[in-house]
């Protein structure tokens, strides 16, 4: 170790200088190795030094002040290990003028920069960062420019400090930019004093992580903010991870205490009651009898049921049913089909009822019925051909919760179909308020894949339906419930308030599909031997450790036969372990999109994204019309250079191209193998689905049912037949919901007084829904959903 003659050990060592070159940078941890040309230092380094450390934003050619210590590297010799760094702000008149006229301050030229420095002086940066009004003295600066300069200076100061604090508090590098983007100038304050706020604001930070940050920040475990955050986290978790729309007070108490109490702190039931009262007083939760929920959910369930009941009761001209039956006969002839009685009834319901439901498993004729409904409307109301209408003018609107399902609907019906989000007008630059004013101009709306619609989406949809419009909800009630909270489709059926056609005859069987038969047998709890071989399905025995090899063999063979990555989908229910989604994705990437010189690669965490990769969006990105579960292909990867200020991945989805910066990459994952939840609403020619005992927590009937019904041509099951048999006997957790109750009340007993009682909370508004809504990942068993990204 060098003897630093000029400095005592009590002095802080520093180096001020220009970064000549970034020798190394880890994108993930932002660990840098820099060559710095020294201007000033109290170390023994002379003209230059190698400086190492974690820095969030270093630009070659710019000047920084690094503080830290001198270390000896076994191979590279003496280096300066920086513990903190700060951009060296210019303090000469010329330097400052150059700084203010740089592109950091768009619209500020040399003249204005000079005026700023002349007026405020060479301490301009420190003065502006402390005094938000300092620029008012500078003549000729518009309010907007004053604001822009002040914000830029203050943010840049604050984010340097905040970034350092996040390193000290052990906050993962991938979360740091998101946190700074969210809190801007307030970041330091939040992470140091209110870390529990991160739990509700930052995707990927859970209560445990906030606890760690709080411990590092010296916040006591009995801090009231921790208690309240723990209760709120538990409630949110039950709603977003389990899918309940309310939780019983006693259950919430017990579950909150499980995460709050440690060997260092003890909270009692009474403490939880106090927290609940505080939260209710602050209008963060609603307590109704022995139930607790979020105001947004309560409001969404109540309002949607009320609107639905209004629509059902709104009188429109009745259809001539006898005439409709005659027309339907004509349609059968022209389509060369004979609808069964149930199918015909389902079609007629779409005309005779304001709202009706069609539910049935695969191959029961839902698509065929939708075609019949469209044809009958055309016939009865003399609609012209779809092609003769302007876009969006056709009186029948079709929609589904995912882009894929909507595309399938459009392909099979021959008329336009969209995602429900698009139907209700949610797109780029849409504000929440606009959506709720955006009525859907339609005589009939048909929504498919209804089992995927959650409480929030259902509310938003219902608010936009016009009173005269008829609605047909179509789906398969045996599939997994929605990813978001609620069991909307099941509740609508079970409320008995809506005429429902339950289809139970499979027609596709005639074409020799044993996959559909299997789905049916599972839904109806029939006995079966899953190892019986069929032309279109097979079960290979394998233990957990053999799954990867088996998948490798099957996929390689499919590729040899000419199938490509879009045709083959591996589905698994869990992310970790030797037969988990993560490992299978790595393996499949190697087979289906191997590395090559012509493909760019970008490393992010433990993933390598490569040009040509099949990827999946993990949360809703409504503004770009890309939703949780949509998959696409990486069309290009761009690196930070003269033309790009940031690394970027561009993904081609069915709906268009979307660019992801590094900070957005937590939203993206590989999609060679996806969870069964995420595959809902999509179908694939070949589905490969391992089922092994190590999936124990996720071995459930509706998961297996949903997985196998994604296969259109071939289904390859592999694993342990006993794991399969136990899965199809196990029902998923029943979700607590209020919709059914509200619905039956709306229809039968609700009087005005009761309605007012239910909605006595006058702060319940539509805006709240958008404020509170967070993107959920449901049913992931023992693993926290946040750990997947
Ligand atoms: N009444 C019927 N008579 C003869 N064939 C029928 C009848 N109804 C449906 N089919 C045929 O059965 C097959 C499955 O029907 P369809 O695609 O409409 O079912 P689905 O419920 O939409 O299935 P999935 O949900 O799997 O797409 C189709 O080939 C269709 O032509």
Q: Does 384 have pLDDT greater than 70? A: yes
599 is in an annotated binding site: no
Residue nearest to atom 1 of ligand 1 (CA): 339
Fold held by 303-503: Rossmann fold (3.40.50)
Report which secondary-structure segment, H or E, holds 690.
Answer: strand 684-691
Which of 332, 342, 508 maximizes ligand 1 atoms within 8 Å of its Cβ, making it the mutation to test the pocket? 508
Cα 699 from chain centroid (whole Å): 24
Helices 321-335 and 341-352 meet at what angle, rounded to 10? 130
The pLDDT of 528-549, averaged and rounded, is: 92
Residue 560 buriedness (CB in 10 A; 0-12 / 13-18 / 19+): exposed
Residue 412 Cβ inside 6 Å of ligand 1? The answer reads no
> What digits encode the pLDDT tens for the residues 45-99?
999 999 998 887 787 778 888 988 999 887 778 999 988 788 777 778 888 898 8
Residue 368 Cβ inside 6 Å of ligand 1? The answer reads yes
363 is in an annotated binding site: yes
Name which of 195-204, 242-251, 585-594 the model is least confident about. 195-204
Q: Would you state the pLDDT for residue 677?
A: 87
The two beta strands, 601-604 and 684-691, are unpaired
The pLDDT of 561-570, averaged and rounded, is: 89
CB 232 within 8 A of CB 207: no
Q: Does 116 have pLDDT greater than 70? A: yes
Residue nearest to atom 5 of ligand 1 (CA): 507
What confidence tier does 512 reach under pLDDT thresholds 50, 70, 90?
low
Residue nearest to atom 13 of ligand 1 (CA): 508
Q: Would you state the pLDDT for residue 9?
A: 43
Residue 507 Cα to ligand 1 middle (Å): 5
Q: Would you state the pLDDT for residue 181?
A: 80
Q: Which distant-in-sequence residues (6+ apart) come within 8 Å of 630 by Cβ?
A: 402, 403, 404, 616, 617, 653, 654, 655
The pLDDT of 237-243, averaged and rounded, is: 88
Spatial distance between the Cα atoms of 36 and 18, rounded to a whole number of angstroms: 6
- Give the position, in ligand 1's atom list, of the atom nearest the Cα of 370: 18
Domain 514-719 sits in CATH at 3.40.50.300
Residue 367 Cα to ligand 1 middle (Å): 6
Q: Would you state the pLDDT for residue 437?
A: 61
| 646/601: higher pLDDT | 601
Residue nearest to atom 29 of ligand 1 (CA): 508
The two tokens of residue 137 are: 């003295």
Q: Would you state the pLDDT for residue 274?
A: 92
What confidence tier does 353 reach under pLDDT thresholds 50, 70, 90?
very high
Q: Would you state the pLDDT for residue 313?
A: 92
- Give the position, in ligand 1's atom list, of the atom nearest the Cα of 340: 1
What confidence tier does 777 reach under pLDDT thresholds 50, 70, 90?
very low
Residue 712 Cβ inside 6 Å of ligand 1? The answer reads no
The pLDDT of 412-419, averaged and rounded, is: 92
Q: How large a percentage of the chain has pLDDT more than 70?
A: 90
Q: ipTM of this model?
A: 0.98
> What digits encode the pLDDT tens for the residues 261-275?
999 999 999 999 999
CB 350 within 8 A of CB 492: no
What confidence tier does 753 reach under pLDDT thresholds 50, 70, 90?
low
- Give the position, in ligand 1's atom list, of the atom nearest the Cα of 503: 21
Residue 507 Cβ inside 6 Å of ligand 1? The answer reads yes
Q: Would you state the pLDDT for residue 772?
A: 46
Residue nearest to atom 8 of ligand 1 (CA): 365
The two tokens of residue 1 are: 């170790």
The pLDDT of 763-780, averaged and rounded, is: 43
The phi and psi torsions of 280 (rounded to 5 degrees) equal: -70, -40
The pLDDT of 428-449, averaged and rounded, is: 75
Query: What residues does 52 pair with on adjacent strands?
Result: 33, 81
Q: Does 782 have pLDDT greater than 80? A: no
Q: Would you state the pLDDT for residue 766?
A: 52
Residue 353 Cα to ligand 1 middle (Å): 23
Q: Output 550-557 pairs: Cβ under 8 A, ≥24 positions apart.
A: 550/690, 550/718, 551/584, 551/587, 551/588, 551/673, 551/688, 551/690, 551/718, 552/587, 552/591, 554/688, 554/716, 554/718, 555/588, 555/591, 555/592, 555/688, 556/591
Residue 609 Cβ inside 6 Å of ligand 1? The answer reads no
Residue nearest to atom 11 of ligand 1 (CA): 507
Residue 295 Cα to ligand 1 middle (Å): 42
Residue 536 Cα to ligand 1 middle (Å): 18
> What digits encode the pLDDT tens for the residues 280-296?
988 899 988 789 999 98
The pLDDT of 487-514, averaged and rounded, is: 86
Spatial distance between the Cα atoms of 617 and 655, rounded to a whole number of angstroms: 13
Residues in the chain, total = 789
| 573/776: higher pLDDT | 573
The two tokens of residue 463 are: 């608010």
Which of 338, 367, 517, 685 maximizes ligand 1 atoms within 8 Å of its Cβ, making it the mutation to test the pocket? 367
Q: Would you state the pLDDT for residue 776?
A: 34
The two tokens of residue 246 are: 């309310």
Strand ranges of the sheet holding 444-447, from the earlier edge strand across to the other edge: 417-419, 396-400, 444-447, 470-475, 355-360, 499-503
Residue 491 Cα to ligand 1 middle (Å): 25
Q: Would you state the pLDDT for residue 399?
A: 96
Residue 366 Cβ inside 6 Å of ligand 1? The answer reads yes
656 is in an annotated binding site: no
CB 477 within 8 A of CB 723: no
Q: Does 626 have pLDDT greater than 90? A: no
Q: Cα dihedral sign for 713, 719, 725, 731?
A: negative
Residue pointed to by tokens 């100061």: 157
Residue 251 Cβ inside 6 Å of ligand 1? The answer reads no
The two tokens of residue 42 are: 């109290």
The pLDDT of 415-431, averaged and rounded, is: 78
End-to-end CA distance of the chain: 42
The two beta strands, 355-360 and 499-503, are parallel
The two tokens of residue 14 are: 């520093």
| 226/605: higher pLDDT | 226
Q: Would you state the pLDDT for residue 120?
A: 93
Spatial distance between the Cα atoms of 42 and 15, rounded to a whole number of angstroms: 7
What confidence tier does 21 reach under pLDDT thresholds 50, 70, 90?
confident
Q: Would you state the pLDDT for residue 1?
A: 39
| 542/157: higher pLDDT | 542
The pLDDT of 187-214, averaged and rounded, is: 90
Q: Does 456 have pLDDT greater than 70? A: yes
Residue 662 Cβ inside 6 Å of ligand 1? The answer reads no
What confidence tier does 564 reach under pLDDT thresholds 50, 70, 90?
confident
Residue 508 Cβ inside 6 Å of ligand 1? The answer reads yes
- Give the position, in ligand 1's atom list, of the atom nearest the Cα of 408: 27
Quick count: other Cβ atoms within 10 Å of Cβ 533? 8
Name which of 434-448, 486-500, 711-725, 765-779 the model is least confident about. 765-779
Residue pointed to by tokens 């590279």: 76
Q: Would you state the pLDDT for residue 415?
A: 94
Per-domain residue ranges of the chain: 21-161, 220-293, 303-503, 514-719
Q: Would you state the pLDDT for residue 751?
A: 52
What confidence tier does 742 reach under pLDDT thresholds 50, 70, 90?
confident
What confidence tier does 464 reach under pLDDT thresholds 50, 70, 90?
very high
Helix (H, G, I), strand (E, B) or coil at 555: helix
The phi and psi torsions of 590 (rounded to 5 degrees) equal: -60, -35
Residue 362 Cβ inside 6 Å of ligand 1? The answer reads yes
Strand residues in 480-527 grouped as ranges (E): 499-503
Which of 338, 477, 507, 536 maximizes ligand 1 atoms within 8 Å of its Cβ, making it the mutation to test the pocket? 507
Q: Would you state the pLDDT for residue 283?
A: 87
Residue 175 Cβ inside 6 Å of ligand 1? The answer reads no
53 is in an annotated binding site: no
Answer CATH for 220-293 from 3.30.413.10, 3.10.130.10, 3.30.390.30, 1.10.10.2220? 1.10.10.2220
- In this chain, the answer to whether the domains covering 303-503 and 514-719 adopt an identical fold is yes
The two tokens of residue 643 are: 């033309």
> What digits encode the pLDDT tens for the residues 136-183?
999 888 999 999 999 888 877 777 778 778 878 888 766 777 788 888
Q: Would you state the pLDDT for residue 752?
A: 53
Using only C-alpha atoms, the chain has a radius of gyration, in whole angstroms, of 30
Residue 337 Cα to ligand 1 middle (Å): 10
> What digits encode the pLDDT tens for the residues 26-47?
766 678 889 999 999 999 999 9
Q: Does 650 have pLDDT greater than 70? A: yes
245 is in an annotated binding site: no
Average pLDDT across the chain, whole number: 86
Q: Which distant-in-sequence residues (6+ apart) come within 8 Å of 644 by Cβ?
A: 638
- Give the position, in ligand 1's atom list, of the atom nearest the Cα of 364: 21
The pLDDT of 422-427, averaged and rounded, is: 81
- Give the position, in ligand 1's atom list, of the atom nearest the Cα of 712: 26
Q: Does 780 have pLDDT greater than 60? A: no
């Amino acid at each position: 170790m060098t003897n630093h003659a000029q400095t005592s050990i009590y002095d802080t060592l520093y180096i001020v200088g220009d970064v000549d070159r970034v020798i190394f940078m880890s994108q993930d941890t932002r660990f840098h190795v820099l060559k710095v040309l020294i201007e000033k230092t109290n170390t023994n380094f002379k003209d230059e030094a190698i400086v190492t450390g974690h820095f969030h934003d270093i630009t070659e050619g710019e000047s920084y002040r690094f503080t830290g210590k001198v270390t000896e590297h076994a191979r590279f010799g003496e280096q300066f290990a920086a513990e903190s760094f700060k951009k060296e702000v210019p303090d000469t008149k010329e330097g400052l003028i150059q700084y203010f006229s740089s592109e950091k301050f768009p619209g500020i030229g040399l003249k204005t920069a000079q005026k700023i420095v002349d007026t405020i002086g060479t301490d301009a940066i420190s003065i502006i960062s402390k005094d938000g009004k300092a620029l008012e003295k500078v003549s000729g600066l518009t309010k907007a420019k004053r604001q822009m300069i002040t914000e830029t200076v203050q943010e840049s100061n604050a984010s340097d400090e905040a970034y350092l604090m996040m390193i000290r508090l052990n906050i993962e590098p991938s979360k740091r930019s998101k946190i700074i983007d969210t809190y801007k100038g307030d970041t330091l304050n939040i992470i140091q004093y209110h870390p529990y706020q991160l739990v509700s604001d930052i995707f990927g930070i859970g209560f445990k992580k906030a606890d760690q940050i709080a411990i590092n920040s010296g916040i006591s475990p009995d801090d009231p903010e921790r208690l309240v955050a723990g209760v709120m986290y538990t409630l949110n978790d039950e709603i977003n991870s389990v899918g309940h729309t309310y939780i019983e007070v006693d259950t919430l108490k017990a579950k909150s205490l499980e995460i709050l109490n440690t060997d260092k702190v003890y909270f009692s039931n009474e403490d939880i009651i106090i927290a609940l009262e505080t939260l209710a007083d602050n209008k963060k939760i609603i307590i109704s009898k022995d139930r607790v929920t979020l105001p947004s959910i309560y409001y969404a369930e109540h309002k949607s049921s009320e609107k639905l009941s209004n629509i059902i009761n709104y009188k429109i001209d009745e259809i001539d049913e006898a005439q409709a039956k005659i027309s339907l006969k004509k349609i059968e002839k022209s389509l060369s089909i004979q609808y069964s009685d149930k199918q015909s009834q389902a079609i007629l319901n779409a005309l005779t009822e304001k709202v009706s439901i069609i539910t049935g498993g695969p191959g029961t004729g839902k698509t065929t019925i939708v075609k019949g409904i469209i044809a009958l409307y055309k016939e009865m109301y003399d609609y012209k051909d779809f092609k003769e209408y302007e876009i969006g003018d056709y009186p029948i609107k079709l929609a589904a919760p995912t882009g894929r399902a909507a595309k399938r609907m459009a392909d099979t019906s021959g008329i336009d179909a969209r995602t429900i989000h698009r139907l209700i007008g949610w797109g780029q630059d849409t504000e929440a308020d606009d959506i709720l004013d955006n009525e859907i101009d339609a005589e009939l709306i048909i929504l498919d894949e209804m089992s995927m619609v959650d409480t929030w989406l259902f509310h938003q949809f219902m608010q936009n339906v016009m009173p005269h419009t008829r609605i047909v909800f179509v789906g398969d009630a045996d599939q997994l419930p929605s990813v978001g909270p609620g069991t909307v489709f099941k509740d609508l059926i079970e409320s008995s308030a809506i005429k429902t056609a339950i289809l139970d005859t499979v027609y596709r069987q005639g074409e020799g599909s044993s996959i559909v038969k299997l789905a049916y047998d599972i839904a109806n709890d029939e006995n079966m031997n899953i190892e019986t071989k069929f032309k279109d399905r097979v079960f290979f025995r394998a233990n957990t450790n053999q799954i990867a090899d088996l998948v490798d063999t099957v996929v390689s063979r499919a590729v040899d036969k000419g199938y490509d990555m879009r045709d083959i989908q591996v589905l698994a229910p869990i992310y970790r372990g030797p037969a988990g989604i993560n490992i299978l994705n790595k393996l499949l990437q190697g087979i289906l999109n191997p590395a090559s010189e012509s493909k760019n690669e970008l490393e992010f965490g433990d993933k390598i994204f490569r040009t040509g990769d099949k990827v999946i969006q993990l949360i809703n990105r409504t503004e770009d019309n890309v939703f949780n579960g949509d998959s696409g292909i990486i069309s290009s990867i761009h690196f930070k250079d003269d033309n790009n200020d940031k690394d970027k991945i561009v993904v081609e989805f069915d709906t268009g191209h979307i660019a992801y910066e590094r900070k957005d990459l937590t939203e993206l994952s590989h999609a060679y193998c996806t969870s069964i939840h995420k595959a809902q609403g999509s179908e694939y020619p070949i589905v490969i689905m391992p089922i092994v005992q190590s999936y124990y927590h996720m071995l459930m009937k509706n998961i297996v049912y949903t997985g196998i019904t994604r296969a259109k041509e071939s289904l390859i099951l592999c694993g342990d037949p006993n794991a399969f048999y136990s899965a199809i006997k196990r029902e998923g957790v029943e979700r607590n919901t209020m919709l059914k109750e509200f619905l039956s009340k709306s229809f039968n007993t609700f009087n005005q007084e009761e309605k007012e009682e239910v909605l006595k909370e006058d702060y319940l508004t539509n805006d709240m829904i958008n404020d509170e809504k967070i993107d959920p990942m449901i049913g992931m068993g023992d693993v926290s959903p946040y750990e997947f990204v």
